[in-house]
Amino acid sequence: MAYTTIALRTVGEPCIDEALCAATVTPGMLVEQYNASSTLKVRAHATGGGNASAIFALEDRMQGHEVTDDYSSGDLVTFQTFRAGDEVAALIYANETVAIGTKLESQGDGTLKALDIVVASYSTEDSWVATAIEALSGNTTNTLCKVKIR
């Protein structure tokens, strides 16, 4: 499905913010905030399978940009912190097959992948960010997919 926006359904008032981009960020990426030399910046979530808040980069509609327009390093990134029940067009890792109901976690590059339930003999259920609410297969590039936040 072709998406024109990242925030598909928000429960309650959206929590939207902006920060400087540390590196290239694509709308729909899972992002994280961090302190770089006393400046709050945003980058792709960098810990595969790690705990992550449901923060996704939005398209820059104020500048006339679409979901296919990347932010470059130094740009002001618009992002939203999503809540349980919100629906998002999130980037799924290339070649990842997801069925409706697949639990998703960070791939470590801003995309999501199927949750790896057991890694090194402990449960990674805490890394569960969202659940796929549409199926996706055969994507040879990172692809937007409709997900529901956990």
Classify residue 136 by its DSSP letter.
B
Per-state percent for the chain, helix, strand, coil, to nearest 5: 5, 40, 55
* Total of domains in the chain: 1
pLDDT at 26 over 60: yes
Residues 116-144 pLDDT 10s: 875 544 455 689 999 999 999 999 999 99
Q: Are residues 101 and 132 in contact, defined by beta-carbon separation less than 8 angstroms?
A: yes
Residue 28 confidence (pLDDT): 98
**pLDDT band at 21, cuts 50/70/90?**
very high
**pLDDT band at 35, cuts 50/70/90?**
confident
Cα–Cα distance measured from residue 26 to residue 4, given in angstroms and rounded to the nearest whole number: 13
Please report whether residue 31 resides in a domain: yes
Please report whether residue 104 resides in a domain: yes
CA angle 66, 70, 76 (to 5 degrees): 95
Q: Could you tell me the residue range of the domain that residue 141 belongs to?
A: 7-149
Cα-trace Rg, the chain: 14
Q: Are residues 42 and 31 in contact, defined by beta-carbon separation less than 8 angstroms?
A: yes
Please report whether residue 1 resides in a domain: no
Residue 121 confidence (pLDDT): 43
Residues 47-104 pLDDT 10s: 999 999 999 999 999 889 999 999 999 999 999 999 999 999 999 999 999 999 999 9
Largest CA distance in the chain: 47
Q: Would you state the structure tokens that stand for residue 24, as one six-digit string?
A: 């290239």
Considering the entire predicted model, what is its pTM? 0.94
Please report whether residue 96 resides in a domain: yes
Q: Are residues 67 and 6 in contact, defined by beta-carbon separation less than 8 angstroms?
A: yes
